[in-house]
């Protein structure tokens, strides 16, 4: 299986590219992975393709982060076996970041790897999860602990799929767009102030490009790619914390919370205040600090129990590997709570 970074292809160009891919590959069997919300996108998706095998099989999982589990992955491997999938079979992931991460993981490990296509249906998946080749599942309540670095054979972005996206998931994707704007320095105030009805294809392309540029320079995250984790040290801990409490929170909302802390630790209080005006910091009760610190320590990007942050020197200039002590982190949390 080829493992190259693919530039996402949009709308009719994307469907034409997928048709060409299907014609060339002639998969022995085609599987469509969805969750029970994104299954509603199937008719529109299928109707745009001329080369899709009409005998395709739909694999449907429950929506939500809980499906990014070894149990669900194992169930999917078994179903692929039952249907006689071989190395020339194809998995098309049609969904949000959960479906893409799970499907990419299942495909990249089944029979040592079958090709997969990413068709993101959420804003977050369009601008972030669909590109970059990270696949994965959660283990023991910790995010993305097991996974592979495997690129999708093709990424097809059809913005009209966003029409049915729930409001909170739109804001979740907006959180990652804000992160990309902070990293690239492109369009920061416009992206921060963006409203759903004003989202353009160009804005989507620009946000995706911020990630593609970094991934192209450092696929295996040896250096520069770590900057894409801006806001994620605390964001992942915040998300895992809610996962353990069975309290729902979107990935982007957790990232926004993490961006507040990263901006505060970067001493960019004016930028943090601008973010505050759009997406306010959620007060964190001090009794949870220790638990969150432990979650940050178990983040796979930290070594030997230290906690490292990506910080910003200024908008458009991120640096990584900043060790932050527990007391400094707690101080920043106190400040954010007080400023609120």
Ligand X SMILES: NC(=O)c1ccc[n+]([C@@H]2O[C@H](COP(=O)([O-])OP(=O)(O)OC[C@H]3O[C@@H](n4cnc5c(N)ncnc54)[C@H](O)[C@@H]3O)[C@@H](O)[C@H]2O)c1
- Cβ proximity to ligand X, 121 vs 257, nearer residue: 121
Question: Least distance (Å) from ligand X to the CB of residue 78?
Answer: 22
What's the min distance (Å) between Cβ of 207 and ligand X? Answer: 12
Residues in the chain: 340
Q: Is 161 in the site for ligand X (CB under 6 A)?
A: yes
Q: How far is the CB of 26 from ligand X (least distance, A)?
A: 28
Long-range contacts of 193-199 (CB under 8 A, 24+ apart): 193/278, 196/167, 196/170, 199/123, 199/159, 199/162
Give the residue with the Cβ less far from ligand X, 166 or 316.
166
- Give the range of 54-62, 105-113, 159-167, 309-317 binding ligand X by CB under 6 A: 159-167
Residue 231 near ligand X by CB under 6 A: no
User: Binding string to ligand X for residues 62 to 91, with x set by CB under 6 A, is what?
Assistant: -xxx--x-----------------------
Q: Which is nearer to ligand X, 107 or 332 (CB)?
A: 107
Site for ligand X in 100-119 (CB under 6 A): 101
Choose between 212 and 332: whose C-beta lies nearer to ligand X.
Answer: 212
Judged by CB under 6 A, which of 89, 122, 207, 264 binds ligand X? 122
- Nearest-CA neighbor of 323 among 334, 308, 302? 308
The yes or no reply on residue 142 touching ligand X (CB under 6 A) is no
Rounded CA separation 7/90 (Å): 19
Rg (CA), the chain: 20
Q: Which long-range contacts (CB under 8 A, 24 or more apart) does 79-87 make?
A: 80/31, 80/106, 80/110, 83/29, 83/31, 83/57, 84/29, 85/28, 85/29, 85/31, 85/110, 85/111, 85/114, 86/28, 86/29, 86/111, 86/114, 87/111, 87/112, 87/113, 87/114
Residues 300-329 that bind ligand X (CB under 6 A): none
Q: Which is nearer to ligand X, 167 or 270 (CB)?
A: 167
Secondary structure letter of residue 132 according to DSSP? S
- In the chain the beta strands, taken as DSSP E runs, fall at 9-10, 30-35, 57-61, 90-95, 116-120, 137-139, 142-146, 154-157, 308-314, 317-323
Candidate residues 90, 99, 142, 292; the one interacting with ligand X per rule CB under 6 A: 99
**CB 130 → ligand X: shortest distance, Å?**
8
Report, in Å, the least distance between residue 105 CB and ligand X. Answer: 10
Number of residues interacting with ligand X: please give it, by CB under 6 A.
Answer: 32
Alpha helices in 157-200 (DSSP H): 167-184, 188-192
Residues in contact with ligand X by CB under 6 A are: 35, 37-38, 41, 63-65, 68, 95-99, 101, 121-122, 124-125, 128-129, 132, 134, 143-144, 161, 164-166, 169, 172, 250-251
């Amino acid at each position: 299986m080829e493992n190259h970074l693919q530039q996402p292809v949009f709308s009719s160009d994307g469907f034409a590219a997928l048709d060409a891919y299907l014609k060339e590959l002639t998969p022995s069997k085609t599987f469509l992975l969805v969750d029970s919300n994104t299954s509603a996108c199937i008719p529109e998706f299928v109707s745009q393709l001329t080369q899709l095998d009409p005998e395709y099989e739909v694999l449907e999982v429950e929506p939500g982060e809980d499906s990014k589990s070894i149990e669900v992955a194992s169930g999917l491997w078994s179903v692929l076996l039952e249907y006689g999938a071989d190395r020339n079979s194809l998995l098309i992931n049609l969904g949000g970041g959960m479906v893409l991460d799970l499907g990419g993981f299942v495909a990249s490990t089944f029979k040592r790897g079958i090709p997969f296509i990413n068709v993101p249906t959420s804003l977050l998946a369009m601008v972030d999860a669909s590109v970059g080749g990270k696949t994965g599942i959660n283990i023991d309540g910790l995010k993305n602990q097991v996974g592979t670095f495997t690129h999708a054979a093709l990424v097809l972005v059809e913005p009209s799929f966003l029409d049915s996206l729930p409001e909170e998931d739109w804001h979740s994707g907006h959180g990652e767009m804000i992160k990309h704007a902070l990293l690239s320095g492109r369009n920061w105030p416009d992206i921060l102030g963006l409203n759903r009805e004003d989202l353009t294809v160009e804005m989507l392309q620009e946000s995706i490009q911020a990630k593609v540029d970094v991934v192209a320079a450092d696929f295996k995250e040896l250096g520069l790619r770590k900057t894409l984790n801006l806001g994620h040290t605390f964001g992942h801990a915040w998300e895992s914390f809610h996962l353990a409490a069975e309290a729902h929170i979107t990935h982007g909302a957790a990232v926004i919370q993490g961006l507040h802390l990263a901006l505060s630790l970067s001493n960019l209080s004016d930028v943090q205040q601008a973010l505050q005006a759009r997406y306010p910091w959620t007060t964190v009760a001090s009794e949870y600090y220790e638990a969150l610190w432990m979650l940050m320590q178990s983040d796979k990007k930290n070594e030997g129990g230290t906690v490292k942050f990506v910080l910003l020197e200024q908008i458009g200039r991120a640096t990584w590997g900043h060790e932050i002590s527990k007391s400094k982190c707690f101080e920043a949390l106190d400040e954010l709570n007080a400023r609120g």
